[in-house]
């Protein structure tokens, strides 16, 4: 996240913090191994563009439904047991997906991974447990750097495995998640000191909480903004893959190399570039700048169907894009009360999950492989909507702040 602060002498050295940062790195690798190949893996099962978008959506929808419950359970029973359950679900689900022989089995595997997929919000709650508020942005920055490093190594591993099979990436993801599970079970102590009281409706879907969460002072508006950010971004992340393959005539290896490039540039920006921005810009203004560059980049990408041009725009995009999600998550954490960290971060993860379901489905409905020009349409839509979100974030800026 806001990584420039890692050189500060107040760098948090709590052992639990570094363990959870390691788990974040492992989680990121497990996740990002799959990102370059899910679209093409769905095509191997003869799914069309809309059906493949549902493969993305089922994971996100189930994660959306389960994350509030997982966050609530972590506030009551502790962070460690819920993190173990989430990681175990990823291990089992990705093994099933990697060995699937039918589309039905593949969809079931994605369902299982999603329904147990609240590990990132629980990990963020661990940070809130062990890091003082004045060091929170710094800690989330290091956490984001660990996650960002996984975005470099994960696609690189996928690149090596693709000549074997696309399913091999799922198996590798399962194995890496198993490492995270072992690290959590053996080395991570419980971090929750003051557990919440048990609630009778603990296993409900949390839909009422999702609605009432929007009324949380200063946090609710950020949840709305982040939902819109996630939706517009996942329209792009789904649509640009077939555009890159079918319009620019590239293959899965070059697509994966592009993801590796995204990861490297994002990591550099989070570890080096952000310190220059922090000299003259606040957290909120960095968010605004990043959203503006993201939206303009989406609009320019499909203007010219040339791979060199596309990669050049993508490089500019990735430099600033890496700051969007870490920055707004930091804002949510700083604006939430201490006793509501687990709920606020869980709600944020839930809204991101549903946005991750909505975005690909919108893109899938806009695209038709029989009419390749529709891949460009999705990019234009994503760009226009992103700029609208940028304007909304600027308009509502007085409703959230970063005061401690």
Residue 168 maps to which CATH number? Answer: 1.20.1250.20
In-domain check, residue 333: yes
**CB of 113 within 8 A of CB of 94?**
yes
Mean pLDDT, residues 337-343:
76
Is the whole-model pTM more than 0.85? no
Mean pLDDT, residues 322-326:
86
Distance of CA 358 to the CA centre of its chain: 14
Q: Which pLDDT band holds residue 326 (cuts at 50, 70, 90)?
A: confident
**CB of 113 within 8 A of CB of 59?**
yes
| pLDDT for 154 | 92
pLDDT digits 0-9 by tens, 256-301: 999 999 989 888 887 777 778 878 888 899 999 999 999 999 999 9
In-domain check, residue 200: no
Given a cut of 90, whether residue 108 has pLDDT beyond it is yes
Distance of CA 356 to the CA centre of its chain: 9
pLDDT digits 0-9 by tens, 206-248: 677 778 889 898 999 999 999 999 999 999 999 999 999 999 9
State how far the Cα of 304 lies from the Cα of 284, in Å rounded to an integer: 33
Given a cut of 90, whether residue 334 has pLDDT beyond it is no
| pLDDT for 317 | 95
In-domain check, residue 199: no
Domain carrying residue 165:
3-188+205-399
- DSSP class per residue in 10-49: T----HHHHHHHHHHHHHHHHHHTTTTTHHHHHHHTT--H
Looking at the structure of the chain, the number of domains it has is 1
| pLDDT for 6 | 39
In-domain check, residue 404: no
In-domain check, residue 344: yes
pLDDT digits 0-9 by tens, 22-66: 888 888 899 899 989 999 999 999 999 999 999 999 998 888 778
Q: Which pLDDT band holds residue 87 (cuts at 50, 70, 90)?
A: very high
Given a cut of 60, whether residue 5 has pLDDT beyond it is no
In angstroms, the Cα distances linking 159 to 92, 154, 177, 291 are: 23, 9, 18, 29
In-domain check, residue 197: no
Given a cut of 90, whether residue 316 has pLDDT beyond it is yes
Mean pLDDT, residues 67-73:
79
First to last CA, the chain: 18
State how far the Cα of 30 lies from the Cα of 143, in Å rounded to an integer: 16
In-domain check, residue 381: yes
State how far the Cα of 404 lies from the Cα of 396, in Å rounded to an integer: 20
State how far the Cα of 156 lies from the Cα of 176, in Å rounded to an integer: 14
**Percent of all residues in the chain with a pLDDT value above 70, rounded to a whole number:** 92
| pLDDT for 233 | 95
In-domain check, residue 116: yes
In angstroms, the Cα distances linking 253 to 92, 94, 161, 249, 356 are: 27, 21, 10, 12, 24
pLDDT digits 0-9 by tens, 172-211: 999 999 999 999 999 988 888 777 666 556 556 567 777 8
């Amino acid at each position: 996240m806001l990584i420039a602060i890692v050189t500060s002498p107040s760098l948090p050295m709590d052992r639990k913090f570094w363990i959870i940062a390691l788990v974040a790195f492992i989680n990121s690798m497990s996740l990002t191994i799959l990102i370059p190949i899910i679209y093409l893996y769905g095509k191997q099962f003869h799914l069309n563009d809309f059906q493949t978008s549902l493969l993305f959506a089922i994971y996100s929808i189930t994660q959306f439904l389960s994350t509030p419950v997982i966050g609530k359970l972590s506030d009551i029973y502790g962070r460690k047991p819920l993190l173990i359950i989430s990681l175990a679900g990823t291990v089992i689900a990705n093994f099933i997906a990697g060995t699937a022989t039918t589309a039905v089995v593949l969809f079931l595997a994605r369902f299982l991974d999603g329904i147990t997929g609240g590990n990132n919000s629980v990990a963020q709650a661990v940070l809130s447990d062990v890091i003082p508020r004045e060091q929170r942005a710094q800690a989330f920055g290091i956490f984001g750097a660990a996650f960002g490093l996984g975005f470099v190594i994960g696609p690189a591993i996928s690149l090596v495995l693709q000549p074997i099979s696309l399913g091999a990436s799922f198996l590798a993801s399962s194995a890496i998640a198993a490492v995270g599970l072992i690290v959590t079970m053996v080395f991570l102590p419980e971090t929750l000191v003051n557990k919440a009281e048990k609630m009778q409706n603990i296993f409900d879907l949390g839909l009422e909480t999702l609605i009432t969460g929007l009324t949380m002072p200063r946090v609710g508006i950020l949840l709305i903004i982040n939902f819109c950010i996630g939706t517009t971004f996942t329209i792009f992340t789904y649509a640009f893959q077939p555009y890159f393959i079918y319009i620019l005539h590239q293959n899965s290896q070059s697509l994966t190399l592009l993801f590796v490039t995204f990861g490297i540039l994002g990591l550099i920006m989070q570890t080096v570039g952000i310190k220059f921005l922090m000299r003259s810009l606040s957290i909120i203004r960095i968010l605004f700048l990043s959203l503006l560059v993201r939206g303009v980049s989406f609009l320019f990408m499909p203007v010219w169907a040339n791979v060199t041009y596309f990669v050049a725009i993508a490089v500019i995009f990735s430099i600033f894009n890496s700051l969007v999600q870490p920055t707004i998550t930091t804002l949510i954490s700083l604006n939430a009360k201490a006793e509501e960290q687990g709920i606020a971060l869980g709600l944020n993860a839930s809204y991101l999950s549903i946005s991750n379901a909505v975005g690909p489905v919108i893109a899938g409905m806009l695209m038709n492989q029989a009419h390749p020009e529709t891949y460009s349409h999705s990019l234009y839509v994503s760009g226009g909507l992103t700029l609208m979100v940028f304007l909304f974030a600027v308009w509502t800026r007085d409703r959230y702040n970063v005061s401690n």
